[in-house]
Structure 1
Amino acid sequence: MKIMYCITSASWGGAQLHVLELCQHQIDLGNEVVFVVGNDGLLLDKVKKIGKVKIISLPTLHRELSLVNDCKVIFDLRKIIKKEEPDILHLHSSKAGTVGRLASIGLSVKTIFTVHGWAFTNGISSNIKKKIYQLIEKIVSPLTDYFICVSKYDYDIGEQHGILKITKHNYAVVHNGVPEPTEKNITHNLENEAIKIVMIARFSAQKDQTTLIKAISQISNRNFLVTFVGDGSTLEENQKLVKDMKLDKRVKFVGFKQNVIPYLINNDLYILSTHYEGLPISLIEAMSYGLPLIASDVGGNSELVSEGVNGFLVKPEDEQQLAERITCLLNDSSLLDKFGVNSFNKYKKEFEISRMLSKIDQIYCNLK
């Protein structure tokens, strides 16, 4: 079987990790893999290290909407598909998903679009953009042989907006998965020690580190340390906010890290204060390391965080509620320990990578 993966950006994130795992798995199975991407980045570097993957750079493929450029990228991608003749064209990210399906019209290739969060999902601030992306998806959805939704939340949105047609039976929920770590620290024994909190995410309006910073400024119990891992467009303003609030001794910014494992092993609580998500792999990784979770109740987060079992869900941008939930765990280290064990158990039951890969293999076989 020959499979072509196409994603807009090689900048690192959950969708990129997902594609990397798929490329590696298909090579391990002895299948041919072609990887098409719009720019350089960490994903591209990691795919190169796999070996045996044919890599094709498509610089016309980028996120911004442009009628002239988008017509060109459709034409360029169509030439690539015709030349490579893959059995499966597996598309990731909204832009690649759109141009890829248009480029495949009339060709003998089966197209799969993985929804890592719809481009018109709840939480996106611009209603105009939401309507445009919803219209685009309705136009190209008939060109899709199969949809994979990484969360039940995205599955439900697709049905509600008439994109996923019940009568067609061409879609399924396949939760993201991650490998089980070889080293982890599930129990924490934190009596009389500072509780270490971590958030690993790019700095952007979507991820909203600002709400977490404002929340911790309200906490009277100062026996904690927050580490932010990542960089991005809102980093400097968040650094300034920490300085203005005199939280320098309680907050660390360590920048982007290619290897985040030390930050998962050596912290006690994982927080994701975000505006919208699909099914964040960062939370699944935190679960695999036995970390309790606090996350905004958006997207598929409720499929990962069971309220009062392995963590807490909070309203997005509700700094007071977030502060209350953090305080609850700061004051009860035994609850942190209980949540951490439950996180790992939930990961083992539902989010091991072997489950994800097996389900996708079956979809490929059924379509071929």
Structure 2
Amino acid sequence: MKKILIVSTVSRQFYLFEQGNIEVLKSLGYEVHAAANFSDSNERLDSLEIVRHHFDIDRSPFSLINIKAYKELKKIMKSEKFNVVHCHSPMGGVLARLVARSVGITPVIYTAHGFHFYKGAPMINWLVYYPVEKFLSKLTQMIITINQEDFAMAKKFNTNRVVYVPGIGVNTEKFNDYIVDRDKKRKDLNIPNETVVLVSVGEMIKRKNHESALKALSKVNNRDYLYLICGKGELDDYLRSLTKSLGIEDKVRFLGYRNDIPEICIASDIFLFPSFQEGLPVSVMEAMSAGLPVIGSEIRGNTDLIDNDKGGYLLKPEDVAGFAEKIERVISNKELRKKMGKYNSLKVKEFDQKRVKKIMAELYEGLGELI
């Protein structure tokens, strides 16, 4: 049986982003192994039925722990004799490619879920990550990118093949199952039917830029809205305090981490996504599948998904006044919300998981040509 090793930094990568790939690999007869730091492991991994290999990798490129992680990963690769290595995340991609070269494993695939160097990125990102990625491309037989900006960048690297794949795929059909539950979900959340609901999904971290959304909402004159934030993180207390200082604490609900995002999207009217940096955001694809207009930031990934003025509006991440104006416009126009939402529900089919699985199956089946 052919054996493949999927390498990442944290184990949640496997059930959040690799489930489709794992299903494809098993259908092709692969025994699937996964290497990561499994300290964040939970029961969702059990359903994947993969062979797990823990090693002490750290997300920081400056952590000395990664010296130990390199040695641990080398021991894993030597003992298991894998046919293929498919790596993810910046540090997972670095260590896996270096180790694979040292033990003689080919082919090696790297999926870039969003290069840390991008238009508008801090100069330090370009100084640290760009030269490393360019060098490692020589050790990579295939680079997979999930947005057009990264695809154009990767084509400049020295690797055998660069491929664009439309993300990890989203099950656009599953949202049809929740339509009849809209009123019930609103009742469960104690939200009146006439209230316009805006929702954001993402960690409470600086990169997700919830701050701009809150500041924009404080400037909206139409007060018949409710804003739901799904996620948790280090900025939780700060953002709660910010809502009070902005005088909108009665308009914002912090729902924490949720497992019912599809239902919440169906119960909502507008999706807000002012993030500073993304690869190809799954949360936006899910919102589109639910038929929501999206008001988001004009950044890589979002520009692949949202057609400005058709499926929503894209603005600079810190354009608080611009966000406020667009939010006001969409809150006040139900027909516009429906029109944009319908457009998105059709556009997102380009990123459906069935299409992505078909593409990945063809790529995996063609690996022999890269050796």
Per the alignment, residue 211 of structure 1 pairs with 212
Q: Normalised by the size of structure 1, how large is the TM-score?
A: 0.90
Name the aligned partner's letter for residue 135 of structure 2: I
Alignment of 1:282-293 (within 5 A): 282-293=283-294
1:314 aligns with 2:315: yes
Per the alignment, residue 196 of structure 1 pairs with 197
8 Å Cα contact 2:110/2:143 also seen in 1: yes
Q: Distance in 2 between matches of 1:67 and 1:224?
A: 45
C-alpha displacement at 1:259, in angstroms? 3.4
Alignment of 1:221-232 (within 5 A): 221-232=222-233
Q: Distance in 1 between matches of 2:80 and 2:366?
A: 21
**For 1:312-335, what per-residue CA distance to the aligned partner results, in whole angstroms no more than 9, with x for missing partners?**
111111111111111111111001
Q: Distance in 1 between matches of 2:258 and 2:178?
A: 18
What SS class does the counterpart of residue 222 from structure 2 fall into?
A: coil
Q: Distance in 2 between matches of 1:29 and 1:290?
A: 34
8 Å Cα contact 2:146/2:279 also seen in 1: yes
**For 1:1-44, what per-residue CA distance to the aligned partner results, in whole angstroms no more than 9, with x for missing partners?**
322111102357xx8622122223333554211011113336x5
What SS class does the counterpart of residue 206 from structure 2 fall into?
A: coil
Q: Distance in 2 between matches of 1:136 and 1:171?
A: 17
Q: Distance in 2 between matches of 1:314 and 1:71?
A: 41
- Unaligned 5+ runs, structure 1: none
Alignment of 1:193-342 (within 5 A): 193-342=194-343
> Which of 154, 159, 182 does residue 158 from structure 1 map onto?
154
Per the alignment, residue 117 of structure 1 pairs with 114
**For 1:333-365, what per-residue CA distance to the aligned partner results, in whole angstroms no more than 9, with x for missing partners?**
0010011111111112x0110111111111111
8 Å Cα contact 1:20/1:46 also seen in 2: no
Change (3 A) 1:8 1:120: same
8 Å Cα contact 2:143/2:154 also seen in 1: no
What SS class does the counterpart of residue 117 from structure 1 fall into?
A: coil
Name the aligned partner's letter for residue 57 of structure 1: H
**For 1:224-265, what per-residue CA distance to the aligned partner results, in whole angstroms no more than 9, with x for missing partners?**
110000011111111100011121111000111133222122
Per the alignment, residue 76 of structure 2 pairs with 80
- Unaligned 5+ runs, structure 2: 184-192
1:362 aligns with 2:365: no
What SS class does the counterpart of residue 18 from structure 2 fall into?
A: helix
> What is the CA RMSD across the aligned residues, in angstroms?
2.3
Name the aligned partner's letter for residue 174 of structure 1: V
Question: How many residue pairs are counted as aligned between the two chains?
Answer: 355
Alignment of 1:131-146 (within 5 A): 131-146=127-142
What SS class does the counterpart of residue 105 from structure 1 fall into?
A: helix
Change (3 A) 1:239 1:346: same
**For 1:37-73, what per-residue CA distance to the aligned partner results, in whole angstroms no more than 9, with x for missing partners?**
113336x53222222x111111x21111246432322
Structure with more helix by fraction: 2
8 Å Cα contact 1:123/1:275 also seen in 2: no
Change (3 A) 1:112 1:72: same
Per the alignment, residue 187 of structure 2 pairs with none
